């Protein structure tokens, strides 16, 4: 069974640019969540999508957005990049939430460097 796949794995952008990251969840998983990991900050929740709808949103500015497609694949976008957006962006998928408390399966992440 394939795991959570994130692309690209590494990318470098400059301030002011925008970036789109992609996530393919485990087959059958309908919930996709995004997290940002920076040194010393742990993982911070960005947002969650379920059935193409944003169900939860973290405390990030509107420059961070996402969407989910009918096949559960998800993308997140960051516009007007700032130096502080340099981080590892992790995508996680999980089964139908009605199954109980969630165990998230994470991808390897997309490492974004903003210059």
Partner 1 sequence: DQQVKQNSPSLSVQEGRISILNCDYTNSMFDYFLWYKKYPAEGPTFLISISSIKDKNEDGRFTVFLNKSAKHLSLHIVPSQPGDSAVYFCAASGPSSNTGKLIFGQGTTLQVKP
**Contacts with partner 1, residue ranges (CB under 8 A):** 4, 31-33, 35, 40-45, 48, 50, 55-56, 58, 90, 92-94, 97-109
Name the minimum Å distance from CB 73 to partner 1: 15
User: Quick one: 62 or 99, whose CB is closer to partner 1?
Assistant: 99
Name the minimum Å distance from CB 36 to partner 1: 11
User: Quick one: 20 or 104, whose CB is closer to partner 1?
Assistant: 104
Name the minimum Å distance from CB 74 to partner 1: 11
DSSP string, the chain: ----EEE-SEEEE-TT--EEEEEEPPTT--EEEEEEEETTTEEEEEEEEETTEEEEE-S--TTEEEEE-TTS-EEEEE-S--GGG-EEEEEEEES-GGGSS---EE---EEEEE-
Name the minimum Å distance from CB 61 to partner 1: 18
User: Quick one: 40 or 84, whose CB is closer to partner 1?
Assistant: 40
């Amino acid at each position: 069974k394939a795991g959570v796949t994130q692309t690209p794995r590494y990318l470098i952008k400059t301030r002011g640019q925008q970036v789109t990251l992609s996530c393919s969840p485990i087959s059958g998983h309908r919930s996709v969540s995004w997290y940002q990991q920076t040194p010393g900050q742990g993982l911070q929740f960005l947002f969650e999508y379920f059935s193409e709808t944003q169900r939860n949103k973290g405390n990030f500015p509107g420059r961070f957005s996402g969407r989910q497609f009918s096949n559960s694949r998800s993308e997140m976008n960051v516009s007007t990049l700032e130096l502080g957006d340099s981080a590892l962006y992790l995508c996680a998928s999980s089964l139908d939430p009605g199954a109980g408390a969630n165990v998230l399966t994470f991808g390897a992440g997309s490492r974004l460097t903003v210059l």
